[in-house]
Amino acid sequence: MNFLVTGGAGFIGSHVSERLLRDGHRVVIVDDFNDFYAPAIKQHNLARVQAVGGVRLHRADIVDKAAMDRVFAAEKFDAIIHLAARAGVRPSIEQPLLYTQTNVTGTMNLLECARAAGIRKFIFASSSSVYGINSKIPFSESDPIFKPISPYAATKLAGEALCHTYHHLHGMDMTCLRFFTVYGPAQRPDLAIHKFAKLIAAGKPIEMYGDGSTRRDYTFIDDIVEGIMACVRGKFGYEIFNLGNSNTVELRQLVGLIERALGRKAVIERRPEQPGDMPVTFADVSKARRMLGYDPKTKIEQGIEKFVEWFQRPS
Ligand SMILES: NC(=O)c1ccc[n+]([C@@H]2O[C@H](COP(=O)([O-])OP(=O)(O)OC[C@H]3O[C@@H](n4cnc5c(N)ncnc54)[C@H](O)[C@@H]3O)[C@@H](O)[C@H]2O)c1
């Protein structure tokens, strides 16, 4: 099959692209290599994908509709995996307009291009953050989700709504995947595990927000890729799936695991809780198990070891 992977030079996108290519598919990546984090890291990710062979790149901004029209005029796609986004909760509070442009207008542009080109299959990267201040855990796809607490979460909620609209109006096969904190080799440098590892390894202090009791459902990248591949194979109409590990880890426990894998103690600086941060994320993955055969296998202990192995490799 011919895939468009938006954000294919990013953390999750590069792993998904590699996997699609290894499975014999053709992949076109659209990525603008913006400086949310160092573009050199994205080039490095892309080089990994290119090493597999058979990938084509369009360096373009999904917000630029004319540029997207040119991509769709030049290429033929059977399916779109839409991962390009401004990610991250805290920066979205500082730059809400940028997040809205990329995550809402950018998604709309792709849906319009897909509709016009007659592309039937669309997979959208949503986020556990859409659950906001959900009072019930674990989070289930049927929970009401109208209490997002960051612009980022609100844009992902809007993305899901747009996907539903395009499914309803144009019969496109739409899958929205709510990823729960993804980690592993090539993880974004702004995310806790990578950021902490870097600081601890350098003997620098890490900032711990709150008392360290916030809990996250950390999901290893290989499990996420398996979940996405199951969506690629299936046909669902319109469905939302949680892709998490269904296990929560406290922040202070996470720091302990990174310390152990690195063989170094962290210097911890306590900071107040941050607005927009959710106290807990916890995925109920029973729907994904039932409909996708999703079965997250990597325990946090093993996953952190694999991450640190990658982190310490000579580059
Ligand atoms: N990593 C996680 O824990 C996590 C959790 C929930 C949801 N998600 C979602 O999964 C997707 C991938 O996340 P990631 O962690 O790989 O992030 P990432 O930042 O590593 O990857 C996103 C890629 O999209 C590209 N991009 C951003 N804006 C663009 C634009 N306007 N035009 C073209 N390309 C653009 C970036 O350059 C980057 O390479 C995102 O949609 C994110 O919101 C990630």
Residue 6: helix, strand or coil by DSSP? strand
Q: How far is the CA of 305 from the centre of ligand 1 (A)?
A: 24
At 72 the pLDDT is: 98
In a domain, 34, yes or no: yes
Q: How far is the CA of 308 from the centre of ligand 1 (A)?
A: 22
**Between β-strands 182-183 and 219-220, what pairing exists: parallel, antiparallel or unpaired?**
parallel
Query: Mind listing the pLDDT tens digit for each residue in 182-239?
Result: 999 999 999 999 999 999 999 999 999 988 999 999 999 999 999 999 999 999 999 9
In a domain, 291, yes or no: yes
The reported pTM is 0.97
In a domain, 196, yes or no: no
Checking if the pLDDT of 148 tops 80, the result is yes
Q: Choose the residue to mutate in 5, 6, 12 for probing ligand 1, maximizing ligand atoms within 8 Å of C-beta.
A: 12
In a domain, 71, yes or no: yes
At 133 the pLDDT is: 84
Nearest CA to ligand 1 atom 9: 125
Nearest CA to ligand 1 atom 19: 10
In a domain, 146, yes or no: yes
At 291 the pLDDT is: 98
Give mean pLDDT, residues 131-160: 92
Q: Are 13 and 84 in contact (CB under 8 A)?
A: yes
Q: How far is the CA of 292 from the centre of ligand 1 (A)?
A: 23
> 199: which 2 tokens?
């600081």
At 168 the pLDDT is: 98
Nearest CA to ligand 1 atom 12: 83
Residue 152: active-site member? yes
Backbone φ and ψ for 29, nearest 5 degrees, come out as: -105, 135
Query: Mind listing the pLDDT tens digit for each residue in 61-111?
Result: 999 999 999 999 999 999 999 999 999 999 999 999 999 999 999 999 999
Q: Give the whole-angstrom CA distance, residue 102 versus residue 233.
A: 28
Measured from the Cα of 128, ligand 1's closest atom is 6
Exactly one of 152, 166, 183, 294 is catalytic; name it: 152
In a domain, 199, yes or no: no
CATH number at residue 288: 3.40.50.720
Nearest CA to ligand 1 atom 30: 61
Query: Mind listing the pLDDT tens digit for each residue in 120-132?
Result: 999 999 999 999 9
At 185 the pLDDT is: 97
Q: Which helix (H) or strand (E) holds 58?
A: strand 55-59
Q: How far is the CA of 263 from the centre of ligand 1 (A)?
A: 31
Backbone φ and ψ for 75, nearest 5 degrees, come out as: -125, 165
Domain, as residue range, for 67: 2-180+221-246+277-297
At 273 the pLDDT is: 86
Query: How many domains does one find in the chain?
Result: 1
At 109 the pLDDT is: 98
At 134 the pLDDT is: 75
Query: Mind listing the pLDDT tens digit for each residue in 38-69?
Result: 999 999 999 999 999 999 999 999 999 999 99
Q: Which residues contact 267 (CB under 8 A, 6 or more apart)?
A: 203, 204, 205, 206
In a domain, 138, yes or no: yes
**Side chain identity at 163, as an amino acid letter?**
C
Query: Mind listing the pLDDT tens digit for each residue in 235-262?
Result: 999 999 999 999 999 999 999 999 999 9
What lines the ligand 1 site, CB under 6 Å? Answer: 7, 9-13, 30-34, 36, 42, 61-63, 83-87, 102, 106, 125, 127, 179, 181-182, 188
Give mean pLDDT, residues 2-19: 98
pLDDT band at 145 (very low <50, low <70, confident <90, very high): confident
